[in-house]
Amino acid sequence: MKLKYCGLHHADDVSAAAAGRSDYVGFVFAKSKRQVTRDSVAQWLASGQLGGKKAVALFVHEEPKVIAETVCGVAIDVIQCHGKENPETIQQVKEETGLPVWKAIHHSSDALSEMQRFDAVADGYVVDCNVADEWGGTGESFDWAHVPRYIEEGRRQGVPIFIAGGITPENIASLLAYDPDGIDVSSGIEKDGRKSLQRMRELESEMGMRA
C-alpha cells in the first residue's frame, strides 16, 4: 500500500515529510490555503532532502499548456487533476507533460460511471469526499463502505486507487480494512496549519500495525 502526504506548502512541511515514510508528496498549485509557487517547489525538490519520494503536482481546471509550463524543469513525477476535467483534457495533459496523470473522483452516486469515462486515459484515481465548492483538503470523509467498488473498478482498468478525505491516525484502521492501493492524507497530519512529523509517525504506526 502506497502513502501520499499532500498539501505541503512550507519549508517546514517539506522537512517533516522528508523524515516521514510516504511514497509520494503532493503540492497544490490550484487556489487554496495550501497553494504553492513553482519556484518554491522547484527549490524544495532540488534540495534532495525528499530522497526517493515521488512528487505529485495538483491542479484544478488548469489549461494543459499552463500545467506543462508550470512543471517544466521541476522534478515532478505525477500530475493530479482534482476538478471536473474531462477525458480529453486529461489526455492533453499527458501529451503536453509526458507524465502520468491521476484523476480525482469525488464520491457520489454516479462516481463509478464517471471513473469509467476515463478508462484507458487516467493512470490512477484519487477518490475524495464530495464537499460543495471545495476540491480537497477539507478534512471530510465519505462512507468507506463504498471503497471496494472503487477498488474493483481500478482493478478492471489496471490502475491504482488512492483514497482521500478526512483520513487521520485515529480512523485510518477502518479504511485499511478495505486494502486500497494507496492512502492520500493532507489535513489529518497537520497541527496548527503545518504538517506534523508526530502526526505522520502516528499514522505510519497505525499502518504498520496492519501490515
User: CA-based diameter of the chain, in Å?
Assistant: 44
- Band (127; pLDDT cuts 50, 70, 90): very high
Counting residues of the chain whose pLDDT is more than 70, the rounded percentage is 94
Quote the pLDDT of residue 139: 60
> Could you tell me which CATH class the domain 2-209 is placed in?
alpha beta
**Residue spans of beta strands (DSSP E) within the chain:** 2-5, 24-28, 54-59, 78-81, 101-106, 124-128, 161-164, 182-185, 190-191, 194-195
* Model pTM above 0.75: yes
Quote the pLDDT of residue 24: 98
Least confident of 50-59, 133-142, 148-157, 190-199: 133-142
Whether the pLDDT of residue 164 is over 70: the answer is yes
Cα of 190 vs its chain's centroid, Å:
15
Quote the pLDDT of residue 209: 52
Average pLDDT, the chain: 94
Domain ranges of the chain: 2-209
Whether the pLDDT of residue 138 is over 90: the answer is no
- Band (136; pLDDT cuts 50, 70, 90): very low
Least confident of 79-88, 92-101, 134-143: 134-143
Whether the pLDDT of residue 202 is over 60: the answer is yes
Q: Taking residues 14-41, what's their average pLDDT? A: 96
Quote the pLDDT of residue 211: 44
Backbone angles phi, psi at 128, to 5 degrees: -120, 170
Quote the pLDDT of residue 135: 47
Quote the pLDDT of residue 141: 83
User: What digits encode the pLDDT tens for the residues 89-109?
Assistant: 999 999 999 999 999 999 999
Cα of 65 vs its chain's centroid, Å:
21
Q: Taking residues 69-80, what's their average pLDDT? A: 98
